[in-house]
């Protein structure tokens, strides 16, 4: 099977030098992503298209489409069937074979293009194939303006291509073609969607987390960052930077007027983010703030907050409703993480200021010990995002089972998208699906007389969840670690 990739429309209108550079980067990004599926996949590019040749009989078509739909800079992905050119009769028969089941009750149009010398014209191809499809299927008719189905045929010298299905891409620019940014991540709906939108725009991101809630919160944020990166940014390396901010919070609460806590906290975060962004060569700071969503996000407060640093602050969600943000989180798969993310609410004022005055905020900050913020910045930890799940601290006392007994029940705790891509199969054991973020609420479903073995790809999340369940009294929970995967 061959796939034809068309770049996003914004790439197509660039000057020739810029377009060539962005197309070259798009090809490189596609290669980096697809080589993980199969080294035998070929990616060949030109000025206005990219052709991808996928080895037959390896079950790669669906994974390839899924991967391409997550690569920024792509407008359309066409599945293309390739045949040797015999004559129009044979071509019409092939088209009928491919589209007979798809045209029932629908209108269609045949679009043909030729390259090279042939004994027929493109119009003849369209008429001949169109007639065969009209009489050989239960199509509703031909509609040349707005058809339900387009049958695209491209003839190149001694062969022809028939486009089978068309899939929409992310659009935007190729990842890495725009400057780097530092995305502030809390793991909630807003920050994860903001980071996704920057990826979609082709912006390479590092991730900055201010730890206010301890190990549980950081574990959750690591999971969502790794998920986002692996889905939409894996063609480029990225860092996850964690800053211990509990001492800064304590300093704020001890010295700052309680109505100013939220605004001052955001200003301290931006000051820290500016230093860390500069040290990592990033050009902007990205936050998930939206106008008037909470008290610190009024226009007056955002103005005061932004005065804390000189680096540009980007807010992709600035005019979005919460419902729209959640809808995107559902579409990209971060909603389950955000819904169950541990939150830290220790810096919420009873009567937070909505129209902060810069001179009052600065007077409060003058009473703070500046060394506290600097110490937090210096105590930060950097982890490559591709190693995030490897570097999580996991309980060593949880028993690992490589060969389950027939009575054991295997519990797949992976994200549903991971389960769908690579289902857990077991010959003798029942397999149930309980994503890790639902385990706490569904622990009551576990029967005391049954042993449950939790499974995830790397064994990290399964160990952590098993340890938590054991601590809460579910001593019949262990970890399934099949040979070669734990």
What is the Cα–Cα distance from 138 to 136, expressed in whole angstroms? Answer: 7
User: Which structure tokens are listed for 218?
Assistant: 């950081």
Task: Give the CB-side neighbour count of residue 304, counting CA atoms within 13 A.
Answer: 24
E strands, 239-367, where? Answer: 239-244, 284-286, 312-314
Catalytic residue among 54, 71, 225, 456: 456
What is the Cα–Cα distance from 70 to 381, expressed in whole angstroms? Answer: 29
Task: Give the CB-side neighbour count of residue 382, counting CA atoms within 13 A.
Answer: 11
Q: Does the annotation count 456 as an active-site position?
A: yes
How does DSSP assign 293-330, residue by residue? SSGGGSHHHHHHHHTT-SSEEE-TTTT--HHHHHHHHH
Count of CB atoms within 10 A of residue 184's CB?
A: 24
Closest CA to 210 of 379, 390, 389: 379
207 within 8 A of 194, measured Cβ to Cβ: no
- Length of the chain in residues, anyone? 486
Task: Give the CB-side neighbour count of residue 345, counting CA atoms within 13 A.
Answer: 4
What is the Cα–Cα distance from 72 to 445, expressed in whole angstroms? Answer: 41
Q: Give the active site residues.
A: 456
């Amino acid at each position: 099977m061959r796939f034809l990739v068309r770049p996003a429309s914004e790439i197509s209108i660039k000057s020739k030098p810029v377009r060539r550079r962005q197309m070259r980067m798009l090809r490189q990004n596609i290669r980096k992503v697809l080589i993980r599926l199969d080294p035998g996949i070929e990616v060949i590019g030109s000025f206005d298209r990219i052709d991808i040749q996928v080895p037959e009989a390896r079950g790669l078509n669906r994974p390839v489409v899924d991967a391409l739909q997550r690569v920024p800079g792509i407008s359309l992905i066409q599945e293309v069937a390739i045949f040797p050119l015999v004559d129009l009769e044979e071509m019409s028969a092939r088209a009928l074979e491919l589209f007979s089941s798809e045209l029932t009750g629908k209108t269609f149009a045949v679009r043909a293009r030729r390259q090279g010398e042939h004994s027929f014209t493109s119009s003849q191809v369209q008429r001949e194939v169109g007639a065969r499809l009209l009489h050989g299927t239960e199509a509703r008719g031909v509609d040349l303006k707005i058809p339900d189905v387009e049958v695209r045929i491209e003839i190149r010298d001694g062969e022809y291509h028939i486009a089978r299905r068309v899939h929409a891409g992310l659009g935007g620019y190729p990842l890495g073609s725009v400057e780097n940014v530092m995305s502030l991540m809390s793991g909630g709906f807003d920050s994860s969607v903001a980071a996704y939108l920057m990826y979609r725009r082709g912006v390479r991101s590092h991730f900055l987390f201010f730890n206010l809630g301890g190990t549980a919160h950081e574990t959750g944020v690591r999971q969502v960052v790794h998920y986002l990166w692996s889905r939409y940014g894996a063609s480029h390396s990225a860092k996850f930077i964690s800053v211990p901010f509990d001492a800064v919070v304590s300093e704020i609460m001890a010295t700052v007027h309680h109505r100013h806590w939220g605004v001052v906290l955001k200003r301290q975060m931006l000051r820290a983010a500016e230093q860390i962004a500069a040290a990592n060569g990033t050009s902007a700071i990205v936050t998930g703030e939206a106008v008037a969503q909470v008290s610190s996000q009024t226009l007056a407060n955002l103005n005061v907050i932004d005065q804390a640093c000189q680096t540009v602050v980007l807010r992709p969600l600035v005019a979005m409703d919460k419902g729209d943000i959640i809808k995107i989180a559902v579409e990209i798969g971060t909603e389950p993480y955000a819904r169950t993310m541990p939150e830290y609410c220790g810096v919420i004022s009873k009567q937070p200021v909505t129209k902060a005055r810069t001179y009052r905020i600065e007077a409060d900050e003058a009473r703070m010990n500046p060394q506290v913020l600097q110490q937090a910045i210096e105590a930060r930890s950097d982890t490559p995002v591709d190693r995030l799940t490897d570097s999580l601290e996991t309980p060593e006392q949880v028993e690992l089972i490589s060969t389950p007994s027939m009575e054991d029940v295997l519990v797949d705790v992976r994200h549903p998208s991971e389960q769908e891509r690579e289902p857990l199969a077991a010959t003798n054991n029942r397999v149930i699906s309980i994503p890790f973020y639902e385990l706490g609420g569904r622990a009551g479903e576990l029967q005391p007389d049954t042993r449950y073995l939790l499974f995830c790809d790397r064994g990290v999340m399964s160990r952590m969840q098993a340890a938590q369940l054991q601590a809460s009294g579910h001593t019949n929970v262990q970890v399934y670690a099949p040979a070669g995967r734990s």
